[in-house]
Amino acid sequence: MIHQNRQKELLSKLDDNALIIISTNPEQFRNGDVTFAFRPHSDFFYLTGFDEPEAVAVISRSHYAMFLRDKDPAREIWDGERLGLENAPAALKLNKAFDIKTINNQLSQLINKNSVVYFDAKPCDFDTQITNLLAKYTIKSLKEPLHEMRLIKDESEIKTMQKAADISTIAHQHAMQYVTPGMLECELQSVFDAQFVKNKSEHAYTPIVAGGKNACILHYIKNNQVLIDGDLVLIDAGCEFDNYASDITRVFPVNGRFSDSQKSIYQIVLDAQLAAIECIKPGVSVHEPHKIACAIIQQGLESLGLLAPGEPLSKFYMHGTGHWLGMDVHDVGTYQHNQQHRLFEKGMVITVEPGIYIRKDDKINPIYNDIGIRIEDDVLVTETGHNVLTGNLIKTINDIEALMNKN
């Protein structure tokens, strides 16, 4: 019933004669006739729970229909079983199921002349076809009300996100114990590959496994260089479990021991992250964690002589301190209302991920050359404060060194 309840809640926010038309993602070709593994569009899955390609849901207050692929024994031998038209009404609680091949003829018959149609076209041929079919109707966007719903997680979503966080936590711990100098970054990534597959999950995004100077490349994904004794390695990796993402970053020494200069930078980032997390509760501005983190990093870098008083922090910290998390790793939802930062509400989940990135080209004290540190956790806003979903993953210098040097 969860998807039907979401449909009712969404319709309650729309015009009385609203008609929702929403499609899933198309299959994407990797090369030749080989496709990537299919993942449904998050908005579509949120409202329907249906995970096959080539599907369009039509939802109103009185009717719930879906266009989908019918059974095809020949194709199912190659691609796997389909739900099919006969089974779909009971399985998906539909009033009617239509063959997707008939959408050109059938879609207009489901639209009352007084309907206000809500449809957001994705940049693909199939949605262009739907847009053409809707040419004579007034179309409104569904994004704002739907994405506001997705921003506030219910208990089932929180439970799933906690599972994703737990799987990723174990993978990060195993990586700290597995790493050795001379290993390739991709070898260390294999720890995450194995842990995620073992737990019926997958990468929520392309993982970053960045040793040494590579950690100063914010979206480094080559993951093909040798991990060097004395360097740090930054791993930004999280699994997606049942279509919900986790997002964690940890940094640790390849040889198991932080140098003094690495400790100095790491502790600044950790202090900033802990303080930023601590402020999160309902009624606090969503900008406050970033504001707090920046102030601590600024002060810390000035105390080390890496920044002059008042010198812009963006030289060493050039990204935000967090983003919404949910079905998408950079999840939907606005950060401002009426040009002002919105306030945290119970059920929101946000990452907190301050960082410092010091490149050799920055021409500062060479003991800090090529140190890139980011520490990231997933934080749920609760009724009175917050809960760190990834809180079981260690991050203090002493705890990391103790785990990495445990016999």
Could you say which of 30, 219, 260, 383 is catalytic?
A: 219
Report the DSSP pairing between strands 29-31 and 34-35. Answer: antiparallel
Q: Which of 174, 319, 341, 342 is catalytic?
A: 319
Is residue 159 within 8 Å of 389, Cβ to Cβ? no
- Is residue 172 annotated as part of the catalytic site, yes or no? no
Q: Collapse the DSSP code of 282 into the 3-class scheme (helix H, G, I; strand E, B; otherwise coil) and give the result.
A: coil
Please tell me the distance from the alpha carbon of residue 297 to that of residue 356, in angstroms, as a whole number.
Answer: 8
What stretches of 214-304 adopt beta strand conformation (E)?
232-237, 239-241, 244-245, 248-253
The one catalytic residue among 16, 30, 33, 337 = 33
The H or E element containing residue 103 is helix 103-106
Smallest Cα–Cα separation from 215: which of 269, 164, 260? 269
**Catalytic site residue 247?**
yes
Known catalytic membership, residue 205: no
Catalytic residue among 357, 368, 378, 386: 357
Annotated catalytic, 323? yes
Give yes or no: 150 in active site.
no
Beta bridge partners of 116: 18
Q: What are 329's two structure tokens?
A: 């790793």
- Catalytic residue, chosen from 3, 61, 287, 323, is 323
Active-site residue flag, 330: yes
Chain-centre distance for alpha carbon 146? 17
From the list 86, 178, 229, 330, the catalytic residue is 330
376 is catalytic: yes
Catalytic residue among 185, 370, 376, 401: 376
- Given the residues 6, 41, 374, 386, select the one marked as catalytic: 374
User: Among 205, 204, 209, which Cα is nearest to 190's?
Assistant: 209
Q: Is residue 263 a contact partner of residue 401, using CB atoms and an 8 Å limit?
A: no
Name the catalytic one among 157, 166, 231, 247: 247
Residue tagged active-site, from 157, 166, 353, 401: 353
Long-range pairs, 200-203, Cβ under 8 A, ≥24: 200/241, 201/164, 201/167, 201/239, 201/240, 201/241, 202/37, 202/239, 202/240, 203/237, 203/238, 203/239, 203/240
Nearest-10 Cα torsion for 381, 344, 245, 254: -80
From 231, 236, 240, 331, active-site residue: 236
The answer to whether the CB of 286 falls within 8 A of the CB of 320 is no
Tokens standing for residue 341: 């930062």
Catalytic positions, written as ranges: 33, 219, 236, 247, 319, 323, 330, 353, 357, 374, 376
